[in-house]
Structure 1
Amino acid sequence: MATALNLIGVHLLFERNDEVLLGLRGPNAVYAPNTWHFPAGGCEHESVKQCAVREAEEELGLHLDPEHLDLVHSVHLLDPGNPRPLLELVLRVKHWTGEPQLMEPDKCSAWAWWPKTALPDPIVPYAKAALEGIAGGSAYTELGWPEARLPRSTTLTAPKES
């Protein structure tokens, strides 16, 4: 099997009261058109936190300090429509300056705050999985990977003395 390097996606979790900020992907989006998703982007030749700061500015017009970002969940995704595995990192934004604006209307047609207990439909599956994982106290989710094959017996035996 050929090596397929993982792509890294950086997703921003903005929370206000008991709500989360999601964007409605545009009708012409390559992936998941007309579907709700985190503010996000691909990590380019930059650190994960630098990517988050850049994406917040580009997509929302918000200013972030990297010190106010915490990694809260990772989703390792094998999407049948993408030949490369994706590692989706979700960073909680603890503080920001400004109000969300629609900066890229060709990519995102709306921003809205949604109650964590009443997420919109449709929502990108791995975004929903990340939010469910975070709510459940989990730091990691796998989606789309074949199930791991467990050995028939998981009983460990001590080596025999000679």
Structure 2
Amino acid sequence: MPTLRAEPKVGIGVIVIRKDGKILIGKRKGSHAPYWSIPGGHLDLGESFEQAAIREIYEETGLIIKNPQVIAITNNLKTFKEENKHYISVCLQAQHQGDTEENREPDKCEGWIWVDPTELPQPHFEASEQSIACYLQKVCYIPQQE
């Protein structure tokens, strides 16, 4: 069993939206496998949420996004219970023309697809699923039921 951290880590997730309303998701390998998820990663020290979103999208997909906006915060307690990793995730959204993405981290992701956000493939990563639910409901946070 992994060692428990004394504090949560900060994750960044980005809902990249194409003109037709579809969003970009990938199937994870390694960390958080076998879940589907929006692109994202960790917030680096001294980095703004927007800088992290731009960096993560480029590192993972090769896409260049502009003006990402924070839309949601998730407290990932299911992941904590399953993996002993507690993350607070900041979700941003950005528009993109789409169809030019590449899998720049094949060791971490099987590949990217554009999907209707109301028809997510399963299993889906908790932070991503919560973030997309916030996006669809136009709320910044959804309390978790115990």
Higher mean C-alpha deviation, range 130-139 or range 108-117: 130-139
- Do the aligned partners of 1:63 and 1:97 also contact (CA within 8 Å) in 2? no
Across the two proteins, how many residue pairs are aligned to each other?
139
Q: Name the % identity.
A: 25
* TM-score (normalised: structure 2): 0.83
DSSP 3-state at the match of 2:142? strand
CA shift at 1:40, angstroms? 0.4
* TM-score (normalised: structure 1): 0.75
**Higher fraction of helix:** 2
Determine which structure has greater relative contact order: mean sequence separation of CA pairs < 8 Å that are 6+ residues apart, divided by chain length.
2
Alignment partner, residue 160 of structure 1: none
Amino acid at match of 2:23: V
Alignment partner, residue 112 of structure 2: 111
Question: For residues 85 and 107 of structure 1, what CA distance do their matches in structure 2 show?
Answer: 20
Whose Rg is larger? Answer: 1
- Structure 2 gap ranges (5+): none
Q: 1:84 to 1:116 in 2, by over 3 A?
A: closer
Amino acid at match of 1:74: I
1:71 aligns with 2:73: no
- Do the aligned partners of 2:31 and 2:108 also contact (CA within 8 Å) in 1? no
- Structure 1 gap ranges (5+): 148-162
Question: For residues 122 and 139 of structure 1, what CA distance do their matches in structure 2 show?
Answer: 23
